[in-house]
Structure formats: C-alpha cells, structure tokens
Amino acid sequence: MKVLRGFATGNTAAAAEEALSKHVDLTRFEDAQIDVDGLSLHFKLARAPAKSAMPIVLVHGLGLSCRYMLPTAQALMDEHAVLAPDLPGFGDSTRPDHVFTIDELADSLAAWIETMHLKSAVLLGNSLACQVIAAALDRHPTIATAAVLQGPTTPPNERSVVWQLIRWRQNLGYDPPDMKAISRDDYLKCGRGRVWKTFFYGFRDAMEDRLARIRHPILVVRGELDPICRRAWACDVARRLPKGKFAEIPGVAHTLVFTAPAQLAQITKKFVKQDLFMRVA
C-alpha cells in the first residue's frame, strides 16, 4: 500500500488512476516539477502541434489536483500547448506550512507562469480557480492574455457554509462515479483541514470587487444545470468585466472540465480565435 503525506491512499489512488484512464490517454501527458519560491510545484504538460500555438493553462478547483481537468486538456491539445499545475498544497505539489489564501494562491500561480516563461497564455479555471485567476490577473496583469472562467464561485448572497453545502449536494448527483473517484483521492492528498480553510478563504474573497480592474478578454462559462454557479451570478460576473462575455453549455452542470470537455474546448478555441484575433486563414 502506498502511503502519501500521512494518508493511506493505495486503494483510492489506484481507483482514481483507473477512473481517469477511461477518459484520457495518459501517455499523451508529461509530468514535471519545478521550484517556485521555495516550493516544488507539479504540473502536467501536453505539447502543441506547432511552436507558435498559444499556451492554455488549466487551473483546478477546491481540494482537487489538475487530473480532473485532463479531459479538457486532451480536447485542446490539437491546437494548443496545454499545461495544468497543482497549486501549492494540492495534488502532488509541496504542502506549505500554512494554508494559502486566495491572494497567495494567485501569487503562486503568477510566479509559476513567470518561471515557466509562458507568454501570451490563456488561463482556464473551474470553480474556486476562477477566484484565483481573477486575483492573479488583478495583481499580476501581465501574466496572461485572456481567461476562461468556468463555473465561478461564489455569489455574495450565498457566502455561508449552509448555502454552499446545499449547492454542493445539489451538484453531487451530476458528477459521474469516475469524477468522484478522482476527487476522493485528491481530497485525501491535501487533507480535510486544508480543504476547509481554503473553502473559508474563498468566502472572504469578494471576486466581484476585482472585476472592473481586469482589462483582459474574459469568457464566463456555465453549465445550464449548474446549481453552484447560477445563471444570474455568471451573467453578473461577465457584466462587471470590461471585456467580459457569457456562454452557457446546455444539459450539464458544474464540473464541465470533466463532464463536457469537448463542448468546453470548442467554446474556448472559438474564443481564442475570435476574441484574441487569431483567425485562421
């Protein structure tokens, strides 16, 4: 049995790997580590078919690692280099001595992008990662060209444990068993305390206060059935952004990066080509 960071995760790790392999050809991704501000950050990489292709950076949500985003990465890699880091404390990256705030996670993401010498990247985040990306673009505007915010958390009138537990339970039925197997192993890796403290930091981060300062083209995407990111909130986020746009994918819920990768990738590619003036001949 494999013991990782104080948790017996042999069974859950094997189940997660098996679940992921049903949806992704894992041989198409490289694993790497790089030191950033004294932390070893793990990431997965899929190289682009052309060196000139714009890189897309996938940023994971609360308690998770980059793994559940690989279906979307695979759907993007025919046109883009795709990189997916594990934020500090999550996945296979170093666990800092303290739990990072949203601003600290944003600073770490920005430092990783700069260390990787990524130029003109597009950031794509799911759920809490949308708050991290918003903070990163607000605090470090030169790190990216644009962003896709998929299922941003959390509307001001629902920033309470009770409301979020209700929304989480409403969404749980939409996640397939394979997604649950992956998330279960990721939660064990980072630990319950880190999940909860990051969860509370998310409440304290009023993302809406940053949006007017973000001048990048931003696409806000939600699933039609998403109970966590409801339509009114997603539209409000897009409206507050000076260059915000809104898109909705029918028939799916919150974790589109896993449950609707083809649709999300198609919308993202169109956004990059049209809104970033990268039209092909």
Chain segment 196-212, per-residue pLDDT in tens: 999 999 999 999 999 99
- Average predicted confidence (pLDDT) for the chain: 92
Mean pLDDT of 42-47: 94
Give the pLDDT band of residue 120 (cuts 50, 70, 90).
confident
pLDDT of residue 4: 36
* The pLDDT of residue 72 is above 60: yes
pLDDT of residue 76: 96
Query: What is the percent of the chain with per-residue pLDDT over 90, rounded to a whole number?
Result: 88
For residue 164, give both structure tokens.
């979020």
* The pLDDT of residue 137 is above 60: yes
pLDDT of residue 119: 80
Which residues have a Cβ under 8 Å from the Cβ of 189 and sit 6 or more positions away? 4, 5, 7, 9, 65, 90, 91, 92
pLDDT of residue 7: 45
How far is it, in rounded angstroms, from Cα 279 to Cα 281? Answer: 7
Site of tokens 């941003």: 152
More confident residue, 8 or 171: 171
In this predicted model, what pLDDT tens digit does every residue of 216-263 receive, in sequence order? 999 999 999 999 999 999 999 999 999 999 999 999 999 999 999 999
Residue 182 region by backbone torsions, left for phi larger than 0, else alpha for psi between -120 and 50, else beta: alpha
For residue 186, give both structure tokens.
């990721």
How far is it, in rounded angstroms, from Cα 156 to Cα 10? Answer: 39
Give the pLDDT band of residue 278 (cuts 50, 70, 90).
very low
pLDDT of residue 218: 97
Question: What is the four-CA torsion angle of 134, 137, 139, 143, rounded to 10 degrees?
Answer: 150
For residue 245, give both structure tokens.
């746009």
Mean pLDDT of 96-118: 97
Per-domain residue ranges of the chain: 11-274
Give the pLDDT band of residue 61 (cuts 50, 70, 90).
very high
pLDDT of residue 277: 54
Query: What is the percent of the chain with per-residue pLDDT over 70, rounded to a whole number?
Result: 94
CATH class of the region 11-274: alpha beta
Mean pLDDT of 159-170: 92
